Structure 1
């Protein structure tokens, strides 16, 4: 998976996929609460593995697509966090 500069929240991608379909209608088709989907589409929640499978079924994509979008977003955000300097382990085999 290649790094993406400032990847979009998965909710933005879902919004594009939905087109003119309302969140209420989409939530009903996905079998989830409207509030659950609203939180994802508004960027307040992420995509769970279960939701990735639901989206894949509804949009004819793969769950890996949705999980990958979420992972790129999460990793990008994590890369912006300040963390202490971590020294490499010594004396262990590396792959």
Structure 2
């Protein structure tokens, strides 16, 4: 079952991880071992959570990597479903 309009995982990182802890994007990027540009792209919804980033986030915030991947999958699927009518697909049935 699809979540209704799920937030981009970057929004979750910002609102539930960085803001409550008072951590800047620069400090979080250093802690995650990535560039500030990489983390900023995720937080601003310009890039998604890769499996490697999911592991980094799970270590840094004591969460599961699966939760980050699931959030990204839900977001991606919701975005794709918004364009379902633009796909030119014919339903295939047994002859």
Alignment of 1:27-42 (within 5 A): 27-42=29-44
Q: Once superposed, which parts of structure 1, at least 4 consecutive aligned residues long, lie more than 4 Å away? A: none
Give the alignment's TM-score, normalised by structure 2.
0.89
Equivalent position of 1:85 in the other structure: 89
Greater share of residues in helix: 2
| Secondary structure of residue in 2 paired with 1:12 | helix
- Aligned residue pairs: how many? 90
Partner of 2:58: 56
Q: Which runs of 5+ in 2 are unaligned?
A: none
Compute the TM-score of the two structures, normalised by the length of structure 1. 0.89
Residue 89 of structure 1 deviates from its aligned partner by 4.3
